[in-house]
Structures are given as C-alpha cells and as structure tokens.
Structure 1
Amino acid sequence: MARRKKPLKSGWWFGTCGHSNLNGQYFRSIPHQRQQRKKGIFWKTWRGRYYPLQATTMLIQPTAAEAAS
C-alpha cells in the first residue's frame, strides 16, 4: 500500500511550499520529530529549515501601473 504524502500548511501564495510555512504553529525550539517540524512556522532560507519564527509580516506594494493612476 502506497503512503500518501500529507500536505504542508503553507499559504496558497507561496509556490514552493516545502521551503516555508508562514501559517504554522510557533514552537520555542525545533521539534525532534520530523512531522512536528513541518507543522511549525518557518522560512527555509532564513537561519535554516525549521528555525522557529515567532511572527511574520506581509507587505504589499502597488505595481507601477497602479501607482500612476
């Protein structure tokens, strides 16, 4: 029987969901179990995969066409 991959809980807007999870749980330290680590809030390219972030902020900038109108 083939095992089904469990989906990560990253945002719909991030195409490479294995590299970040901004909608995850906050853990004070990196969990030992792999499945728990995947549930945490992290951004892989900042301090390494699964480094627990406390919070994130998303800033949206208008495009040049929107700013001109």
Structure 2
Amino acid sequence: MLINIVLFILRMRGGVNMVDIYVALIIYGRRTFEQVPSILQSKVEEELTALSLNTDGTPVQE
C-alpha cells in the first residue's frame, strides 16, 4: 500500500525513473541506501530529503 502511494506521488512529479524506483525500494525496506549504485546515490538522497526522509527511509526527526 505504502509503495503504491509513493510511486503515485513520484509519477505525479513527472514519471518514474531508476531514482524513483530506488527511493520506493528504500522506503519499502527492500533495499538499503548502500545498495543503490554509486552513480545514483546523490539523486536518491536528494529525493529522500525532499520527502523528509533519511537515507534509511525513516522520517527525519526535527
């Protein structure tokens, strides 16, 4: 369910690409940030930050 919501939000932002897929996998707990290819890590981190999430997919504590 959560993965569908995340993918929907990402699609509304202009489509789904590999960065979006890795973001969703991290949020769903299927991948860790360390498993993201190094070439994509900065973009994945940017997307997670934009969603107010840490690199482990958990909400940022303020």
TM-score class, shorter-chain normalisation, is under 0.3
Q: What's the TM-score once normalised by structure 2's chain length?
A: 0.28
Determine which structure has more spread, i.e. the larger CA radius of gyration: 1
Higher relative contact order (CA 8 A, sep 6+): 2
Higher helix share: 2
